């Protein structure tokens, strides 16, 4: 039963910086897998990940750990809910 809200997720688009990391052959497979899994979760939840923290001055920007307890780094993303076609941009990955 639908409540009138589109049940599909929003696309998660990687920035050029993130694309460079994901296409770098020296990136460990575990990091690649974790980032791809993160983009799937962002898509499914429209960026509203319970473990993500929001910037108080820019609530659309979120930060979330990559890997168990953020062991691989931190990802930043922006929820573009007001865009003509709502989506999320994975803006940056900070590796540890």
Interatomic CA distance for residues 9 and 88, integer angstroms: 10
Interatomic CA distance for residues 43 and 48, integer angstroms: 9
Band (1; pLDDT cuts 50, 70, 90): very low
pLDDT at 6 over 80: no
User: Residues 68-86: what's their mean pLDDT?
Assistant: 96
Tell me what percent of the residues of the chain surpass a pLDDT of 70: 93
Query: Please, what is the average pLDDT of the chain?
Result: 92
Q: Which listed CATH number (3.40.50.2020, 1.10.8.10, 3.30.2310.20, 3.40.30.10) goes with 12-95?
A: 3.30.2310.20
Quote the pLDDT of residue 55.
87
Whole-structure pTM value? 0.88
Domain ranges of the chain: 12-95
pLDDT by residue (tens digit) across 21-63?
Answer: 999 999 999 999 999 999 999 999 999 999 999 989 999 999 9
Interatomic CA distance for residues 47 and 24, integer angstroms: 25
Quote the pLDDT of residue 26.
94
């Amino acid at each position: 039963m639908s409540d009138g809200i589109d049940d599909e997720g929003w696309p998660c688009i990687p920035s050029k910086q993130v694309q460079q990391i994901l296409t770098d052959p020296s990136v460990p497979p575990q990091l690649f897998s974790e980032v791809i899994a993160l983009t799937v979760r962002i898509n499914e939840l429209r960026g509203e990940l319970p473990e993500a923290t929001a910037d108080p001055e820019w609530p659309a920007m979120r930060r979330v750990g990559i890997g168990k307890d953020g062991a691989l780094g931190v990802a930043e993303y922006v929820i573009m809910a007001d865009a003509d076609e709502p989506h999320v941009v994975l803006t940056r990955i900070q590796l540890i």
